[in-house]
């Protein structure tokens, strides 16, 4: 199913995943209303460059808007009448949440509450929103399954994402709003976020600087190429959440409900030790890294790995881009964009 002719509201459209998803929606002949606050969390020039790839398209409309402004958001919903909403805007970053938790309360909690209310009033067909693999927190059983409890977040960022899933469930139950949460596992690729480790590594390696490798390079991550993220997101967006026919309230599932509510992992499916990841990036950049091994930082998870069987059963797709291929695309883009 494509989203041809529909009006899709994409929040965080100047972000990494937001820009790529908007491009893919436009390629399906959907109309995209994109909003973004263009905050200064990282390089605004990169955000503007992403927007510049979207604004020439006649079916794209951009409005600068902060999700914490509920009145302005309500007016936007009334003007644009979106059929579906893809909510990707959030204050991102595990480590930043340790120092600036207030930013996460505002954007990830109040902002999400305003999105839910806007969707309810506009009677959208489906709300798909970004959650995170961080919700698994202190869980050490791998791979992470949506059936696992997520009761032990180890960062405030993760706590806000867990809260989003609970908030969405309440709206699904009370108002019949179909909501699907997508737990992304370490997205990477061209046009990525400068605060992500791989992006910082690339900059430092090409500049001949030493990279800080936390956890002494031992953490394991399930890296997911942006192309796979986008494919999964659009397929999920096109298939609204439904109540689970076999849901048993006496033994409730952690990932389904009697309400139209679902959560899914979107992960690459091939977890890699950090040092091995750096080796692959070195090969893609054609230059070795100078490494400084450091202890793990507060809030960092020791390992992530995604069980994507539920995603495959729901939409018939799982990420499969090899890390070497995805990192080469990123490296080529980085060299071209930054002229290095």
Residues with catalytic roles:
157
Q: How does DSSP classify residue 196? A: S
Contacts (Cβ under 8 Å, ≥6 apart) of 199: 192, 193, 334
CA distance 283 to 254: 41
Do the Cβ atoms of 18 and 89 come closer than 8 Å? yes
Bridge partners of residue 7, in order along the sequence: 31
As a whole number of angstroms, the distance between CA 265 and CA 139 comes to: 15
* CA–CA separation, 59 and 61 (whole Å): 7
SS3 state at 259: coil
Q: Report yes or no: 278 and 284 within 8 Å, Cβ to Cβ.
A: no
């Amino acid at each position: 199913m494509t989203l041809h002719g529909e009006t899709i509201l994409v929040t965080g459209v100047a972000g990494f995943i937001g820009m790529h998803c908007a491009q893919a929606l436009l390629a399906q002949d959907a109309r995209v209303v994109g909003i973004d606050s263009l905050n200064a969390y990282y390089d605004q020039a990169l955000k503007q460059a992403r927007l510049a790839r979207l604004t020439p398209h006649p079916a794209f409309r951009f409005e600068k808007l902060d999700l914490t402004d509920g009145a302005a958001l309500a007016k936007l919903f009334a003007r644009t009448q979106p059929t579906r909403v893809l909510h990707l805007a959030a204050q991102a970053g595990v480590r930043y949440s340790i120092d600036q938790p207030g930013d996460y309360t505002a954007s990830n909690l109040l902002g999400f509450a305003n999105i839910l209310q806007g969707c309810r009033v506009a009677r959208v067909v489906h709300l798909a929103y970004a959650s995170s693999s961080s919700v698994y927190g202190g869980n050490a059983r791998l791979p992470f399954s949506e059936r696992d409890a997520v009761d032990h977040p180890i960062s405030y960022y993760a706590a806000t994402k867990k809260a989003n899933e609970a908030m969405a469930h309440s709206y699904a139950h009370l108002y019949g709003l179909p909501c699907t949460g997508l737990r992304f596992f370490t997205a990477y690729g061209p046009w990525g976020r400068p605060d992500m480790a791989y992006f910082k590594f690339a900059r430092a390696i090409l500049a001949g600087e030493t990279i800080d490798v936390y956890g002494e390079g031992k953490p394991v991550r399930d890296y997911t190429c942006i192309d796979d993220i986008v494919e999964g997101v659009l397929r999920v967006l096109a298939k609204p959440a439904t109540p689970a026919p076999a849901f048993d309230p006496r033994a409730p599932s952690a990932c389904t409900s009697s309400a139209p509510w679902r959560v899914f992992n979107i992960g690459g499916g091939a977890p890699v030790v950090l040092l091995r990841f750096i080796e692959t990036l070195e090969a893609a950049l054609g230059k070795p890294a100078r490494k400084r091994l450091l202890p793990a930082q507060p809030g960092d998870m020791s390992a992530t790995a995604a069980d994507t069987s539920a995603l495959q059963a729901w939409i018939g797709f799982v990420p499969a881009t090899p890390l070497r291929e995805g990192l080469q695309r990123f490296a080529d883009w980085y060299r071209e964009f930054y002229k290095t």
